[in-house]
Amino acid sequence: MGMRKRMKRVKKRKAEKKEDRKEEEGRVWKGEKDGERRVEIGEEGVSGNSASLYLCFPSSGGWEREKGKGKREKGKRKREKGGKAMAMSVRKSIMMVVSVWWMVKESEGRSSEERVYAICKGTTSPGVCYRTILPEVAGLAQFNIYKALEVEVVATQKEVQKTYDQILSLLGQAGNSKDTNDTLSDCKEQFEDMFDSIDDSIKLVAKRDAGEARFKFSAVLSYLASCTDDFTAPSPIAAQENIISDLGGNCLDIMKAIEDRDTRRHFPLTPLPSSPPSPCSHQVGLCS
C-alpha cells in the first residue's frame, strides 16, 4: 500500500510539473484541423482580467502536406508544359514528313518527261516550258514542282539579262531617232527594276512561298509591258520581249498551280449540306 501511495504521489508531481510547463509555454490543443495547431497565450489585463490571444499556424504535419502539395502542383505544371511542347514538336515533324512524302509520291513511278509535261501542260507556253525545264531535271533521280519553278525563273532571268545587254548596245547608235533613244533609256530603267523583282522571287521560291513569289514576280511582266508600250516605231527588242513574256507567264502559272495545290491540301472542299426540296420550289406565284 505504501508503495502504491508513493507511485501516485510521483505521478501527481509529474503531472503538476507538466501542467506548470504548459502554463508557461501556453496551452496547446492537439486536435488538428486542416493541418493547423491552435495555441492560446494568456495575458493579464490592466484590470486583472485575463485576455487570450489565439495563434493558428500549420503543424509540422500540415507544413509537410502543404510542401508536398506544392511540389505536386509544380510537377504537374511542368509535365503539362513539357507535354504541350512535345506535342507541337511532334506536329511539326509530322507535317514535314507528310510534305516530303507527298512530293516523293507525286514524282515516283513517272519518267522525267511525264512529270515535266504534267507541270507544263497548263502554262502560257507549254512548249517553251517543256524545252527549258526538261534538260535541267532529266538527270535528277527525283525533283518536284518547286525545282521546275526555280529552273523557269532562272531561265527568265537569263533572258532579261540578255535583253538588257542588247538595250545597252542599241543606246546612242548613230541611226537612232531621239524618240528611240528616249524609249531605250526608259526600258533600261524598267529592266533594272526587273532584276530586283526576279531576285526577290528566287529567294521566296527557295523558302517555298509561292504566293508571295507570284506577287513579286508579277511586277516583271508589268515592267516589260511598260517598256513595250513606249515604242512608237517597231521595237528593236521585240523578239526578246516575246521570249520573256512566255517564260514569265509560265512562271506565274506554275506559282498559281502550287498555290492551288496547297490550298486544296490544307483546306479540302467539303460538300454543302443538302436540304429536302420545298413543295413550292417549282411553283410560280403564291404557295398554298
Confidence of residue 34 (pLDDT cuts 50, 70, 90): very low
pLDDT in tens, 56-112: 444 445 545 555 666 667 666 666 666 666 666 666 566 555 554 455 555 455 788
Residue 16 clears pLDDT 90, i.e. is over it = no
Chain-centroid distance, C-alpha 81:
20
Q: Quote the pTM value.
A: 0.56
Question: Percentage of the chain with pLDDT > 70?
Answer: 59
Query: Which residue ranges make up each domain of the chain?
Result: 53-108, 111-262
| Chain mean position to CA 31 | 59
Structure letter (DSSP) for residue 124: S
CA neighbours closer than 13 Å in the CB half-sphere of residue 31: 0
Taking CB atoms within 8 Å and a gap of at least 24, the contacts of 171-178 are 177/233
Q: Is the pLDDT of residue 176 over 80?
A: yes
| Share above pLDDT 90 across residues of the chain, in percent, rounded to a whole number | 42
Rounded Cα distance, 202 and 220, in Å: 13
Please name the residue that has the C-alpha cell 531605250: 184
pLDDT at 91: 62
Amino acid 278: pLDDT: 62
Q: State the alpha helices, DSSP H only, in the chain.
A: 2-25, 60-107, 112-120, 126-137, 145-170, 178-206, 210-230, 238-266
DSSP letters for 230-249: H-SSPPTTHHHHHHHHHHHH
The rounded distance, in Å, linking the Cα atoms of 266 and 271 is 16
Is the pLDDT confidence value at 163 over 70? yes
Q: Is the pLDDT of residue 178 over 80?
A: yes
Banded pLDDT at 15 (limits 50, 70, 90): confident
Q: Which residues contact 254 (CB under 8 A, 6 or more apart)?
A: 119, 123, 129, 145, 148, 149, 152
The CA distance from 23 to 42, in Å, is: 8
Burial of 177 (0-12, 13-18, 19+ CB in 10 A): exposed
Task: Tell me what pLDDT residue 96 has.
Answer: 55
pLDDT value for 22: 62
Rounded Cα distance, 112 and 140, in Å? 8
What is the pLDDT at residue 56? 45
Taking a C-beta distance cutoff of 8 angstroms, is the pair 129, 152 a contact? yes
Q: What is the pLDDT of residue 288?
A: 58
Reference 251, options 184, 151, 104; nearest CA is 151
The class of domain 111-262 in CATH terms is: mainly alpha
Write down the pLDDT at residue 111. Answer: 84
pLDDT confidence tier of residue 246, bands split at 50, 70 and 90: very high
> pLDDT tier at 143 (50, 70, 90 boundaries)?
confident
Burial of 70 (0-12, 13-18, 19+ CB in 10 A): exposed
User: Which residues contact residue 162 at a Cβ distance below 8 angstroms, ignoring those fewer than 6 apart?
Assistant: 240
What local confidence, expressed as pLDDT, does residue 44 receive? 40
Angle between the N-to-C axes of helices 210-230 and 145-170, in degrees from 0 to 180, rounded to the nearest 10: 20
Model confidence over 191-243: pLDDT tens digits? 999 999 999 999 999 999 999 999 999 999 999 999 988 888 788 899 999 99
Contacts with 178 (C-beta within 8 Å, 6 or more apart), sequence order? none
Is residue 8 predicted with pLDDT exceeding 60? yes
Contact 262, 214 (CB under 8 A): no
Q: Which residues pair with 51 in a beta bridge?
A: 43
Q: Given this model, what pLDDT does residue 84 score?
A: 66
Mean pLDDT of 129-147: 90
